[in-house]
């Protein structure tokens, strides 16, 4: 009897243990298919503001859009005052008419919810909707994005306009979906509603003031809180100095608040118009929000790409490549679209940047596609005659003349239509990944550590080297699974928590190659400095102990590698004491000459490199080519400066994108002939590419 009961028990227990695998495999959400969504067409569009042009122009606009292969527009994201001219009174008749004209020319739309630019009457009636700066002054009416995310009056107004739009357009066949607001993320608001919301956020996170005081180390300067209401925001303090732990939580709070505001709109739209897709236009390297969390609420990612603007975030070498990959990585590497692709020279009150050769607009569109875009939409159809953006060129200028940019856009439109069958279902496949840590980025904003330190620059040093070697790179975020990659680079991983250390450890144990760099493992998740020997919880993995460092931004050091080469080094010098690691390079100068600067540690089945300093860029090329070569990752040919090679894959076969951003014709040795997917002609192994040109190449099988 006893044995029978025991056996029965065992059956029950083992059934329980086996339960997960005996259940049907969890359905993985299908990636959003932009081309299917757009009736099988590559999403090719312009951002259009019919409300700003005489209605008599709409018909011709739509006709010449169609002639340029345009099948998509984004509309209405700044038209709140026109759609709700007075509180609770709505007028969509003009938008209905515009949609009718556009739809008749085969152009479908995404509508922007217009909350980025609230009407004047709303400000006048509810002054508390305006965000407050850190000095306690509310922004005055006249710009945009100047609202408070926690203002009850603004939230009520948001609900009203979004509901009205969703009700009106929920069954409109010419409306494909929604864009929430416009470029969410700024400004930070310091008004009483935001402060109270931050205090609540802290209460939810820490549960007790004791836990918060401990986590933030408020013993320092006696900044101990005895009520939740005492907790400040990181605002205008003397010397602008804040508790770094409070400041990091404030960044997270702001990012969460942005997410919650977006989610408020998403939830309403999904309820009222469940069959329309939802996206948001983001800003690439912009980091006041954690896009990897924001994007969980969306169907697909869209972003605004201005290669000739904000170049500080882009590399000289290949412009917005990393921004594309980061945007793709912020939603599981799903294909995405560019909602605002540069269509002309950027400017507000002055022209910014350099004028680009018109052909470059085509090359940048192909670059977007090469990095995973299934849609490109130019900002804007026609340059505005009015307001702040009179100097921000659209595809057409104010005179509507079919200029050289229009011709290039039309050429690109025809080509992308021709390539749609080939592109549909293909995606970027990478074996290398770059870890972007929003916590580390924010912590470096709070304490740059050395003058002028730039986290994005550290990302680019490694990213650009992969790209120059013709190797695709995915961007991953700490909460994601990176076990599928062969090599992971985690530059300046300043803030780490236990789960991340565990994941990195398992990644290496299972055979992964991990590259860590200086200032890693310094802080815990509360932005508190570790009490372990640096690199803190990563020390065992890296097989090193760092007892000294030298932050010498301006002075040049050198690192001597095995063959005696002296590599210039700068920014920061971690002086490495190998425990289980071996030295790959030593410092040349100063009292620590001869001490290790770069190490390699075998750990489990994998290897960890620790690069304790910033090297001259060309040496990343050498190192990355060696490592990917050893890993059997296919790298590309030697590429001239200003030429990019990127690939998408379909059914295991590669589609090559050769992009020449330079004003010179170039020859690239691809090692085998390919077929030009546009001309159908064979291209020799030493392929020629003209100045400012893009080529799409396929091998046998396509
Ligand atoms: C951003 C915005 C657009 C426009 C352009 C140009 O990307 O989303 O509305 O303002 O910049 O300034």
For residue 546, give its domain range: 2-28+429-630
Contacts of 273 (CB under 8 A, 6+ apart): 166, 169, 170, 171, 178
Q: What is the pLDDT of residue 4?
A: 47
Q: Are residues 19 and 54 in the same domain?
A: no
Position 444 confidence tier, pLDDT thresholds 50, 70, 90: very high
Q: Are residues 626 and 488 in the same domain?
A: yes
Are the C-beta atoms of 371 and 463 separated by less than 8 Å? no
Contacts of 609 (CB under 8 A, 6+ apart): 513, 514, 515, 516, 584, 598, 599, 600, 601, 627
Does residue 356 form part of some domain? yes
C-alpha to C-alpha distance for 294 and 593, rounded to whole angstroms? 46
Concerning whether 340 is annotated as a catalytic residue, the answer is yes
Are the C-beta atoms of 512 and 486 separated by less than 8 Å? yes
- For range 244-251, the mean pLDDT: 98
**Residue 30 region, left (φ>0) first, then alpha (ψ -120 to 50), else beta?**
beta
Angle ∠(334,478,491) on CA atoms, nearest 5: 105
314-341 confidence digits (pLDDT tens): 565 568 999 999 999 999 999 999 999 9
158-to-68, 192, 640 alpha-carbon distances in Å: 36, 20, 51
Residue 14 has pLDDT above 50, yes or no: no
Domain boundary among 376, 404, 422: 422
Position 21 confidence tier, pLDDT thresholds 50, 70, 90: very low
Are the C-beta atoms of 372 and 328 separated by less than 8 Å? yes
C-alpha to C-alpha distance for 104 and 177, rounded to whole angstroms? 18
C-alpha to C-alpha distance for 395 and 380, rounded to whole angstroms? 6
Q: What is the pLDDT of residue 548?
A: 97
Q: Given CA atoms 318, 323, 326, 328 in this order, what sign does their dihedral have?
A: negative
> Catalytic: which of 77, 84, 282, 340?
340
Q: What is the CATH number of the domain that holds 201?
A: 3.20.20.80
Q: Are residues 82 and 189 in the same domain?
A: yes
Q: Work out whether strand 613-615 and strand 473-476 pair parallel, antiparallel, or are unpaired.
A: unpaired
In total, how many domains does the chain have? 3
Q: What is the pLDDT of residue 701?
A: 84
Q: Of 257, 258, 254, 234, which is closest to residue 244 (Cα–Cα)?
A: 234
571-to-554, 557, 568, 616 alpha-carbon distances in Å: 7, 9, 11, 11
Q: Are residues 154 and 283 in the same domain?
A: yes
Are the C-beta atoms of 666 and 641 separated by less than 8 Å? no
Does residue 241 form part of some domain? no
Domain boundary among 422, 454, 475: 422
Q: Which of ligand 1's atoms lies nearest the C-alpha of 281?
A: 8
Q: Are residues 661 and 605 in the same domain?
A: no
449-482 confidence digits (pLDDT tens): 998 899 999 999 999 999 999 999 999 999 999 9
Q: Are residues 81 and 9 in the same domain?
A: no
Instruction: Name residues contacting ligand 1 (CB within 6 A).
Output: 182-183, 281, 304, 340, 379, 389, 392
- At 671, list the tokens: 């090692």
Residue with tokens 């097989």: 543
* 187 CA to centre of ligand 1 in angstroms: 15
Identify which of 186, 304, 309 to mutate to test ligand 1's pocket (most ligand atoms within 8 A of the CB): 304
Longest distance between any two alpha carbons in the chain, whole Å: 94
Q: What is the pLDDT of residue 5?
A: 45
Identify which of 145, 389, 393 to mutate to test ligand 1's pocket (most ligand atoms within 8 A of the CB): 389
560-582: string of b/e by CB count within 10 Å (b at 16+)? bbeeeeebbbbbbbbbbbbeebe
Q: Which of ligand 1's atoms lies nearest the C-alpha of 78?
A: 9
By alpha-carbon position, which residue is closest to atom 10 of ligand 1? 389
Q: Are residues 654 and 626 in the same domain?
A: no
Position 23 confidence tier, pLDDT thresholds 50, 70, 90: very low
CA-CA-CA-CA dihedral for 357, 358, 360, 361, to nearest 10: 150
By alpha-carbon position, which residue is closest to atom 7 of ligand 1? 304
683-692 confidence digits (pLDDT tens): 999 999 999 9
By alpha-carbon position, which residue is closest to atom 9 of ligand 1? 182
Are the C-beta atoms of 655 and 472 separated by less than 8 Å? no
Does residue 340 form part of some domain? yes
Does residue 235 form part of some domain? no
Q: Which of ligand 1's atoms lies nearest the C-alpha of 283?
A: 7
Residue with the bigger pLDDT between 313 and 201: it is 201
* 281 CA to centre of ligand 1 in angstroms: 10
Residue 363 has pLDDT above 70, yes or no: yes
Q: What is the pLDDT of residue 429?
A: 97
By alpha-carbon position, which residue is closest to atom 6 of ligand 1? 392
* 9 CA to centre of ligand 1 in angstroms: 65
C-alpha to C-alpha distance for 362 and 105, rounded to whole angstroms? 23
Concerning whether 282 is annotated as a catalytic residue, the answer is no
7-to-15, 16, 191, 365, 553 alpha-carbon distances in Å: 12, 14, 65, 66, 70
The DSSP-derived string for 326-345 is: HHHHTTTT--EEEEEEE-S-
Domain boundary among 404, 422, 440: 422
% of the chain with per-residue pLDDT over 90: 90
- At 178, list the tokens: 């929604």
Q: Which of ligand 1's atoms lies nearest the C-alpha of 306?
A: 7
Identify which of 379, 390, 391, 393 to mutate to test ligand 1's pocket (most ligand atoms within 8 A of the CB): 379
Instruction: Please give the mean pLDDT across all residues of the chain.
Output: 94
Q: Are residues 174 and 64 in the same domain?
A: yes
Identify which of 340, 343, 381, 388 to mutate to test ligand 1's pocket (most ligand atoms within 8 A of the CB): 340
Q: Of 509, 469, 485, 471, which is closest to residue 435 (Cα–Cα)?
A: 485
* 182 CA to centre of ligand 1 in angstroms: 8
97-114 confidence digits (pLDDT tens): 999 999 999 999 999 999
260-308 confidence digits (pLDDT tens): 999 999 999 999 999 999 999 999 999 999 999 999 999 999 999 998 8
Q: What is the pLDDT of residue 311?
A: 55
Does residue 689 form part of some domain? yes
Q: Which of ligand 1's atoms lies nearest the C-alpha of 340?
A: 7
Contacts of 355 (CB under 8 A, 6+ apart): 345
Q: Which of ligand 1's atoms lies nearest the C-alpha of 389?
A: 12
Q: Report the range of poorest mean pLDDT among 10-24, 354-368, 669-683.
A: 10-24
257-to-5, 148, 437, 592 alpha-carbon distances in Å: 55, 10, 19, 47
Q: What is the pLDDT of residue 702?
A: 87
* 392 CA to centre of ligand 1 in angstroms: 9
For residue 239, what is the DSSP state?
Answer: G
Q: Are residues 602 and 580 in the same domain?
A: yes
* 120 CA to centre of ligand 1 in angstroms: 20
Q: Which of ligand 1's atoms lies nearest the C-alpha of 304?
A: 7
The DSSP-derived string for 75-108 is: E-TT-HHHH-SBTTB---HHHHHHHHHHHHTT-E
HEC letters along 181-221: CCCECECCCCCHHHHHHHHHHHHHHHCCHHHHHHHHCCCHH
Does residue 483 form part of some domain? yes
Q: Are residues 547 and 686 in the same domain?
A: no
Position 19 confidence tier, pLDDT thresholds 50, 70, 90: very low
* 229 CA to centre of ligand 1 in angstroms: 38
By alpha-carbon position, which residue is closest to atom 5 of ligand 1? 379
Q: Are residues 382 and 506 in the same domain?
A: no
Residue with the bigger pLDDT between 439 and 702: it is 439
Q: Are residues 650 and 557 in the same domain?
A: no
DSSP SS3 for 19: helix
* 183 CA to centre of ligand 1 in angstroms: 8
> Catalytic: which of 84, 183, 282, 614?
183
499-533 confidence digits (pLDDT tens): 999 999 999 999 999 999 999 999 999 999 999 99
463-492: string of b/e by CB count within 10 Å (b at 16+)? bbbbbbbbbbbbbbbbebebeebbbbbbbb
Preceding amide of 285 cis, omega within 30: no
C-alpha to C-alpha distance for 686 and 695, rounded to whole angstroms? 13
Q: What is the CATH number of the domain that holds 454?
A: 3.40.50.880
Does residue 636 form part of some domain? no
* 12 CA to centre of ligand 1 in angstroms: 61
Are the C-beta atoms of 654 and 430 separated by less than 8 Å? no
Position 2 confidence tier, pLDDT thresholds 50, 70, 90: very low
What is the rounded end-to-end Cα distance, in angstroms, of the chain? Answer: 68
Does residue 626 form part of some domain? yes
Q: What is the CATH number of the domain that holds 653?
A: 2.60.40.1180
């Amino acid at each position: 009897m006893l044995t029978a009961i025991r056996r029965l028990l065992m059956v029950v227990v083992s059934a329980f243990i086996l339960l997960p695998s005996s259940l049907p495999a969890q359905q993985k959400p299908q990636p959003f298919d932009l081309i299917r969504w757009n009736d099988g067409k590559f999403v090719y569009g312009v951002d259009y503001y019919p409300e700003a042009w005489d209605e008599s122009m709409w018909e011709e606009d739509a006709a010449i859009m169609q002639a340029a292969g345009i099948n998509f527009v984004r509309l209405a994201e700044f038209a709140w005052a026109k759609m709700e001219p007075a509180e609770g009174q709505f007028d969509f008749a003009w938008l209905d008419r515009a949609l009718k004209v556009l739809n008749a020319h085969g152009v479908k739309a995404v509508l922007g919810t217009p909350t980025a630019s609230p009407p004047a009457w709303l400000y006048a009636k509810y002054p508390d909707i305006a965000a407050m700066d850190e000095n306690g002054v509310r922004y005055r009416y006249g710009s945009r994005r100047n609202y408070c995310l926690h203002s009850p009056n603004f939230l009520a107004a948001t609900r009203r306009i979004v509901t009205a739009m969703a009700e009106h357009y929920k069954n409109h066949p010419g409306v494909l979906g929604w864009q929430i607001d416009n470029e969410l993320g700024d400004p930070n608001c310091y008004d009483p509603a935001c402060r109270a919301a931050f205090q609540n956020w802290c209460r939810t996170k820490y549960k007790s003031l004791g836990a918060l005081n401990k986590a933030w180390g408020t013993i320092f300067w006696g900044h101990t809180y005895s009520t939740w209401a005492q907790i400040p925001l990181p605002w205008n303090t003397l010397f602008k100095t804040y508790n770094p732990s409070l400041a990091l939580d404030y960044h997270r709070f702001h990012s969460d608040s942005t997410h919650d505001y977006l989610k408020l709109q998403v939830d309403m739209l999904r309820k009222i118009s469940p069959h329309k897709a939802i996206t948001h236009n983001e800003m690439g390297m912009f980091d006041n929000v954690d896009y990897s969390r924001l994007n969980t609420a969306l169907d697909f990612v869209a972003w605004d790409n201005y290669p000739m603007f904000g170049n500080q975030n882009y590399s000289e070498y290949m412009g917005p490549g990393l921004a594309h990959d980061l945007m793709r990585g912020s939603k599981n590497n799903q294909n995405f679209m560019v909602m605002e692709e540069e269509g002309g020279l950027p400017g507000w009150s002055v022209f910014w940047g350099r004028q680009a050769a018109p052909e470059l607009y085509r090359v940048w569109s192909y670059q977007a596609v090469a990095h995973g875009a299934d849609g490109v939409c130019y900002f804007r159809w026609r340059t505005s005659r009015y307001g702040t953006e009179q100097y921000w060129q659209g595809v057409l200028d104010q005179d509507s003349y079919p200029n050289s940019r229009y011709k290039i856009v039309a050429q690109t439109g025809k080509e992308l239509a021709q390539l749609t069958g080939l592109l549909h279902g293909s995606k970027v496949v990478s074996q290398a990944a770059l870890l972007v840590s929003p916590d580390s980025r924010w912590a470096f904003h709070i304490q740059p550590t050395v003058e002028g330190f730039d986290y994005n620059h550290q990302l680019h040093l490694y990213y650009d080297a992969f790209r120059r070697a013709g190797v695709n790179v995915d961007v991953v975020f700490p909460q994601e699974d990176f076990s599928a990659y062969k090599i992971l680079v985690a530059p300046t991983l300043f803030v780490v928590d236990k789960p991340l250390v565990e994941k990195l450890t398992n990644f290496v144990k299972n055979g992964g190659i991990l590259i860590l760099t200086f200032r890693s493992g310094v802080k815990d998740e509360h932005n508190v400095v570790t009490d372990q020997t640096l690199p803190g919880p990563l020390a065992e993995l890296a097989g090193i102990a760092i007892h000294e460092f030298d932050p010498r931004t301006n002075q040049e050091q050198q690192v001597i590698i095995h063959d005696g080469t002296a590599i210039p080094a700068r920014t920061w010098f971690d002086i490495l004491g190998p425990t289980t690691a071996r030295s790959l390079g030593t410092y040349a100068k100063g009292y620590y000459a001869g001490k290790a600067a770069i190490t390699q540690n075998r750990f489990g089945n994998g290897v960890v490199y620790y690069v304790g300093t910033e090297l001259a860029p060309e040496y990343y090329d050498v190192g990355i080519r060696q490592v990917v070569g050893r890993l059997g990752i296919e790298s590309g040919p030697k590429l001239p400066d200003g030429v990019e090679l990127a690939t998408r894959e379909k059914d295991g076969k590669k589609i090559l994108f050769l992009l020449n951003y330079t004003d010179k014709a170039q020859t690239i040795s691809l090692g085998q002939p390919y077929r030009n997917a546009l001309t159908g002609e064979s291209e020799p192994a030493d392929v020629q590419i003209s100045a400012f040109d893009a080529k799409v190449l396929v091998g046998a099988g396509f």
